[in-house]
Amino acid sequence: MTGPVNLASKLALFSEHWSPKIVAGFNGNDIMVVKVKGEFNWHSHPDTDDFFLVLKGRLTIKLRDGDVVLGPGEMYVVPKGVEHCPVAEEETHLLLIEPAGTPNTGDPATAATKVHV
């Protein structure tokens, strides 16, 4: 990386939802931005936690024992193995951090292909 990464500029490069874009790497982790709207699918990650930071909008993370609601500037870490379902009533922008190669659905067969922007 040769300079700062402007997250708003990176988010302006695409319009699709639920398709994370890698903006940097950090100690074997992908740092990504993603636009979300509507409901994702229930899933879990058996080997890694799931990090969500809301940049714009609101995100509800449905958990089997109660929901977590996040607004701009708020973050939440879903512990590994915990089933969850992210939902955004309006378009919401997120920063995600996860080990490189982690499938966003918890299953490589159904995961979105991650690309660098």
For residue 78, what are its two tokens? 């879903």
Contacts of 28 (CB under 8 A, 6+ apart): 99, 100
Task: Give Cα 101 to chain centroid, integer Å.
Answer: 13
CATH class of 7-103: mainly beta
Angle formed at CA 91 by CA 25 and CA 19, multiple of 5 degrees: 40
26-48 confidence digits (pLDDT tens): 999 999 999 999 999 999 999 99
Mean pLDDT of the 87-112 span: 82
Centre a 10 Å sphere on the Cβ of residue 115 and count the other Cβ atoms it contains.
11
pTM of the model: 0.90
* Cα 30 to Cα 40: distance, rounded to the nearest angstrom: 20
Domain boundaries, the chain: 7-103
Residue 115 has what pLDDT?
77
9-30 confidence digits (pLDDT tens): 999 999 999 999 999 999 999 9
Element (H, E) at 10: helix 7-11
